[in-house]
Amino acid sequence: MSVILDLTRIVQTAADAESPSAQVSVIVDSIQQYLGLDVCSLYLADERGDMALLASHGLNLGSVGGIRIPAGKGLVGLVAQSRHPINIADAAQHPAFYSIRETKEERYSSFFGVPIVRGGVVIGVLVAQSKEARELSAEESAVLVTLGSQLALVVSTESIWQEINHSTAPVLTGIKGAPGIGIGLVRLCDEDDLYSVSDGQCRDIDAALQEWQELVKTVLADVKREQAGLSELLSQDVAAVFDAYCLLLSDPSLVNGVSQLIRDGVHLPGALKKVIHQHADVFLAMDDPYLRARHEDIRHLGNKLYSAWRGLRATGSEELPTTRTVLVGSQVSVSDIARIPSEYLAGIVCFQGSNLSHTAVLANALGVPAVMGVGEIRGLYNQDELVVDGNTAKVIVRPTPSVLVEYEQILKAQQQLKGELQELRDLPAQTVDGTKICLYANSGLLADISPGLQAGAEGLGLYRTEIPFMVSETFPSEEEQLAVYRQILEAYDTKPVHMRVLDIGGDKPLPYFPIREENPALGWRGIRFCLDNSSLFMSQIRAMLRASEGRENLRIMLPMVGNTSEIIEFHTLLDDAITQLAEEGIHVLRPPVGIMVEVPSAISQLRSWRHLLDFISIGSNDLSQYLLALDRNNPRVARSYDHVHPAVLHEIARVIEIAQSTDLPFSVCGEMSSDPIAVLLLLGLGVRTLSMSAAQLPKIKWLLRQISIDNAKAIVEEALLLNDAMHIRKLVADRLYVLGAGEILW
């Protein structure tokens, strides 16, 4: 156990170093000291594959930074090529030995080299040497091999080369939060961290309880003021993101939870920390990315309450920016966003967070470029210039004049495109040769409804009914579900609304109905969960049918279907529900029923299911993951995930062929529908109905109006002959530029 702790300490110390050069120095010094060897050196691969000596404890310090071993040369090159450790007692006698006089390494006999591999690519080599002619022991070798694998996750190759090349424009990569280009001056958001509060005792319980009640009222007033300030910039429902904070501040489990801890003798900030931590952990433990991101919102609220308690509540008297501003912080809050006049808010950069946080949601709604999860940016100060590239999830710190000019040109072109997109709302989504494409919106919350309608959506292609279940403390009653479903159906009037039945269980467990499985992706979820809980399922079906009374726009969609019996059992439940309601005097039309094609086994059964289905929707996210056996949210394998992978395209082509030959209406839902490259391929394959987030709908409509079906068919024929997703993307991107639609890729 001590060895593990020691290795962890070395890696953590390196990760905490103030600069890339300090980082590599810490690595070699710590390893040399820990193992007691004469030399420890770190080589890093440059863009040509040559190995540069970046740090060494033992070799001639004058050679560090200036020595490069050509790719494939010497023992270092052999380690990199073989991707395997080399352990020899007398290095000079090895055929691959490559002498570099400047390092004076001839004084050392033994050589042990271990490759540092990230994402399947050798990024460097860690070398240990000693004067004694001996092979390293098994224990010493194991330590270095383990360190090599861990250092691959710590060493920032981009930052190191930028420092070596004296670059004035460090480039950081994060997660796409909101698209677009933003250029402005940094405004650091230094939010108080509630989690750093130490435990303490409450000396005056009655006074603390009164203070807590006043604190909740104060922050609630703040939130409402901020919401009012943004109400003119956002649709009413998107601005209702702030309602989530209001609901939390009114939640008895939060308010009473803090009060009870105060009564138990815990001081107010400590009680607040414990309750916020408990609430956030409930969401953080969820596998569903959308719900997991909600823990960020709860932490934001906790920090806001803590700041107010410390007397740091914004009074509105702070100096407002008068130039383009980029908000930067660990987790930029919606309150930070609300304080900046919209005309000056150029971008948002978060050290932490995801593309599903409320920060990203608001950034998308405001049209502000945002990059999330870039990690802490050391050496960044207020008024530093920053480029935020939300299209590629990159942040450029203190850009050079030439870089700035390039991005200013891109920004100008995007602003022109944005103006064109705003004019498309009431125009049809059709290709240049007149082929009509139906564009639906996706939704999971009432706050998502207005944006879809405002963007010109022709209906809801996917309404995720599980969200109300997952944010509730108990199973919602039939009446509670009825109220939600009725609002959705009424909002879209005569336009079709495809309601997906509960997709819970397995990877999306309910807080009040925990499910523990070793492999949740292949477990008790979707239609499997619903049919096994028929009483709960019947309540949902009845609520959907009752909400559709007097309307004809309800469509019911089943997730994760893989067996015939699942569809038949659902039809039986649907028949029973219609009969029950008729006996109660509620007469409803039988809605069309379809499935999500996301389980690969469904594809080969579609022909035999035709008489059981009224439509299908290809769920591109899950279908791609199951076909590729890749979790797109797992950073270790996410780089290999791509929904334009040849296997995915060929299977979608097979689904489309079956649907067309059996006259089965079909659509595509998921990230493919908002990826311009994928959309062009889908169009060529025969897809005429797409469902996507409301924010992406204008962009896709613009793309459709720039191309023809013949162009799309010709491109997809070429693409299907390729056997690599990267080559397919390049092919389609090149064709889009030729067709004059390349700017959609920015």
Catalytic residue ranges? 358, 669
Among candidate residues 341, 334, 337, the one with its CA nearest the CA of residue 303: 334
CA–CA gap between residue 47 and residue 471 (Å, rounded): 48
> Distance of CA 271 to CAs 195, 305, 312, 405, 649, Å?
11, 12, 19, 51, 53
**Residue (of 82, 93, 79, 96) closest to 133 by Cα position:** 93
Length of the chain: 746
Distance (Å, whole) CA 295 – CA 354: 11
Q: Which helix (H) or strand (E) holds 52?
A: strand 51-57
Q: What is the rounded distance in angstroms from the CA atom of residue 122 to the CA atom of residue 127?
A: 14
CA dist 713 and 700 (Å) reads 18
d(CA 130, CA 105): 10
Which two tokens mark 273? Answer: 């920390």
Neighbours of 621 (CB within 10 A): 16
Can you tell me the distance from the alpha carbon of 221 to that of 218, in angstroms, rounded to the nearest whole number? 5
- The token duo for 427 is 């125009």
Write down the H helix ranges in 153-309.
157-164, 205-230, 236-239, 241-249, 252-263, 268-284, 289-292, 294-309
Instruction: Report yes or no: 306 and 326 within 8 Å, Cβ to Cβ.
Output: no
Sign of CA dihedral 64, 67, 72, 74: negative
Return the sign of the alpha-carbon dihedral for residues 560, 564, 566, 570.
positive
- Whole-number Å distance between alpha carbons of 428 and 425: 8
Token pair 């395997």 in the structure block, residue? 84
Tell me whether strands 460-464 and 345-350 are parallel, antiparallel or unpaired: unpaired
Contact between 631 and 638 under an 8 Å Cβ cutoff? The reply is: yes
Report how far residue 597's alpha carbon sits from residue 608's, in angstroms, rounded to the nearest whole number: 14
Q: What spatial distance separates the first Cα and last Cα of the chain, rounded to whole Å? A: 49
How many other CB atoms sit within 10 Å of the CB of residue 635? 10
d(CA 207, CA 21): 52
Q: Between the CA atoms of 129, 134, 140 and 141, what dihedral angle is there, to the nearest 10 degrees? A: 80
- Label residue 13 exposed, middle or buried (CB < 10 Å: 0-12, 13-18, 19+): middle
Beta bridge partners of 387: 183, 396
Contact assessment for residue 158 and residue 138, using Cβ atoms and an 8 Å cutoff: no
CA dihedral 293, 297, 303, 308 (to 10 degrees): 170
Question: The tokens 């240990």 sit on which residue?
Answer: 128
List, in sequence order, every residue forming a beta bridge with 667; answer none if it has no partner: 617
> Is 110 within 8 Å of 134 (Cβ atoms)?
yes
What are the tokens at 99? 């002498």
The residues, any chain, with a CB within 8 Å of residue 726's CB and separated by 6 or more, are 642
Phi, psi of 335 (to 5 degrees): -65, -40
- Residue 701 and residue 679: Cα distance in Å, rounded? 11
Which residues make Cβ contacts (< 8 Å) with residue 637, sequence separation at least 6? 630, 631
